[in-house]
Structure 1
Amino acid sequence: MNAVLIAVLVMLILSLVRVHVVIALAIGALTGGLIGGLGFNETVDVFTGGLGGSATVALSYALLGAFAVAIARTGLPDVMVAWVIKLVGRNEDSRKKALSKALIFFLLVIVSCFSQNVVPIHIAFIPILIPPILKILNELGVDRRAIATILTFGLTAPYIFLPYGFGLIFHGIVADNMEENGLVIALSDIPKAMALPTIGLVVGLLIAIFITYQKTRQYEDRPIVGAPVQEQTYTRLSVAAAIVAIVATLVVQQLSGSMIIAALAGLVVLLASGSLKWKEADGVVTEGMKMMAFISFVMLAASGFAAVIRETGHVDLLVTQAGSIVGESQAAAALLMLVIGLFITMGIGSSFATIPIIATLFVPLGLAAGFSPLAIIALIGTAGALGDAGAPASDSTLGPTAGLNADGQHNHIWDTCVPTFIHFNIPLFIFGWIAAMVL
């Protein structure tokens, strides 16, 4: 038995039967460590030692949650709701609702894509943008699973294909790690190799929007966690301050590269303008941290899980076993490499973190199977994207859940991870395999 496969399977099965994902990660790590021969005490030590790997991200989420709650208290969400209701009309005009939904979908695709390449802020925009528009989505009857797939698409597709912003970092990691393992490629080769897998993501997105989640879904109009129960009173100054705070947050994040500093900058603007009262600040920060605590703890547990997986040494064993199975068949080799990549990235949950592991495995295995450099790039890039697109512990799934569950009506596993796995991982798998065969 391979410890990596068993650990990931245990984690996924427990998550699907609604065991809390943090507990599922801990039990999966313990199972993997025991099977991998680490023993109980060493597994616990490695798991707890690995928790610090996501401490910065966890604090970032907590402060962004505080900022999102503060924005909710400025009255900006109510202004947005009133504007959209005026646009849609109270007469249930279906055409206006359809146009409004189309506009929201289009804007979310653009904003989420831009967050990777044009203004590389990654998931920082989600806790700021999504909670305020939940009332609008409720009014339009939008299925939040469609929004989850839109956001995950925008957080994944641009960087695996376009060499700008986070895409340039990702492409550089792929090229550097392939070179370290004996295969030199040009950065310009990566977009060519990743074109087909990216088309797979587009196909999955279109299916999710126009087929799977096309029908309306009803949600209750609940307040955002930490927001006032009554409709918030607002002034032009408070709304203007909210807009300035959002812009300041995005600019500071871009300049500093830190979501922590960016969230603090937004809170400072709201406090300085008087839109957030000093006496309310403590409560706002506490409520924001409560809203984001789930995401933060998942990230911490995922780091411990990844540390245990690496410590077992069974990742290398998995490749050896795979090589003995596929023989000289390229089709079988590509299929098995993607399966291996899926398990590794689903367990660790970050394409950037797993590319060094995947490249170490895939370059020698791909060369032995006779794949071209472009085909190996496609296999490595696709395997990385598989983890980002559907893993319970991935930024690209945790981020959408953080925004969409701000009122407690969006389940991380069944409303984000399962939809994104079905609509993105399956097409990625198919189109990545085709790319390996034709390149």
Structure 2
Amino acid sequence: MAAALAAAFVLAVQPAQAGRYASIVIDAQTGSVLHAANPDARSYPASLTKVMTLFLLFDELDSGRIRMDSKFTASAHAAAQSPSKLGLEPGETISVENLILALVTKSANDAAVVAAEGVGGTESKFAQMMTRKAQALGMRNTVYRNASGLPDTGQVSTVRDQAILARALIRSHPGYYKYFSTRQFVYEGQPINTHNRLMLRYQGADGIKTGYIHASGFNLISSAKRGDQRIIGVVFGGATATSRDNHMAQLLDKGFAKLRRGGGVEMASAETEAESNDDLPDLDDLEAAAQAAKAPAKAPVLVKPKPASSKKIAMRAPSRAANDDDDDDDAVGDADPAAWAIQVGAFSEYRPAHKAASDAAKKLGGLVSKASIDIDKAGKGKKALFRARISGFTEDQARAACKRLGRAGKSCKPVNPNA
């Protein structure tokens, strides 16, 4: 029966989604595999790419060639990267430490390019350094073409390789790994919160990176430590950020349980997954479908990205197949593109914007139980504008929230992620 149900999933799940799902959990101490599903299927790492960018930055710091207070300058190429970004302007300088913080929290694409150019001279040369490092670490199926993870047809990796990378970083740079635990940092007076929401709620979690482009789905590397045991999990191909996080949490739970039992590798199969994980979110349906269909371990064809632009990119849900033959596949960083927001005002300073959003959240009560305050900064200097927003709604919730605030005489408008 379980195998039949798994086979049925193949009909219900888009082939591109089933084919790009993969996961792995390893023991960080020994490197032994505790769980694996399609571990060597090549796909797109998205912003997990920035883990390697940071690895090379940490190497440079250890060598003494740069320091935390070293200043790198943003080029026009760096400033033109698509969001997520800090909004750096050509000629603007930023410290290495702020680059690190921007990469681990906001997953800023402009910061990634500034780091790449500061170390490698050009982003393309830095990508060659990244690939050589990957080969040296034993990441056999990984090729890097840029420092950010923005769409590139030649930039591919696997969950096994990303687990190898995370383990090597933790072992080689334990002092710098602590940056991945950063929940918030302040840049130019603006607090920036981490995108890694699973880290905030999972017991023992202390990093490391989220990622999303349309062709990859929602990716995640997580590491958690309980007592003297640490495990690392990697998921590729989530349908949403929330389902990916929930799935990872259960994979980590299973990993710790297996360590306690002294168990070895578990290769996911249609039957075992369907029988034992009926209550898991949709990623497990994808896992069962992928195994039942015996999806080939090769990377899909990624659409060609548009030239980088400083214009803010609209966010869209991953509703199309990963190999759709068009060039409308803009990256959106790590935020869930299915999440609506509401805007309750726009201000020239951060503090009143945050107060307006906080006051609105208090009035909304239970409607914001799964939402968060998100102050969106546009422009620089005296022309900067701080949009007071609360994000994390469905469309119906966003419209209901604005209706409630409107009845209270408060300004509010729903913000469509696809607008």
Which structure dedicates a bigger proportion of its chain to helix? 1
TM-score range relative to shorter protein: under 0.3
Which structure dedicates a bigger proportion of its chain to strand? 2
TM-score, structure 2 as length reference:
0.22
Q: Which structure has more RCO (C-alpha within 8 Å, separation ≥ 6)? A: 1
**Which structure has the bigger radius of gyration?**
1
TM-score, structure 1 as length reference:
0.21
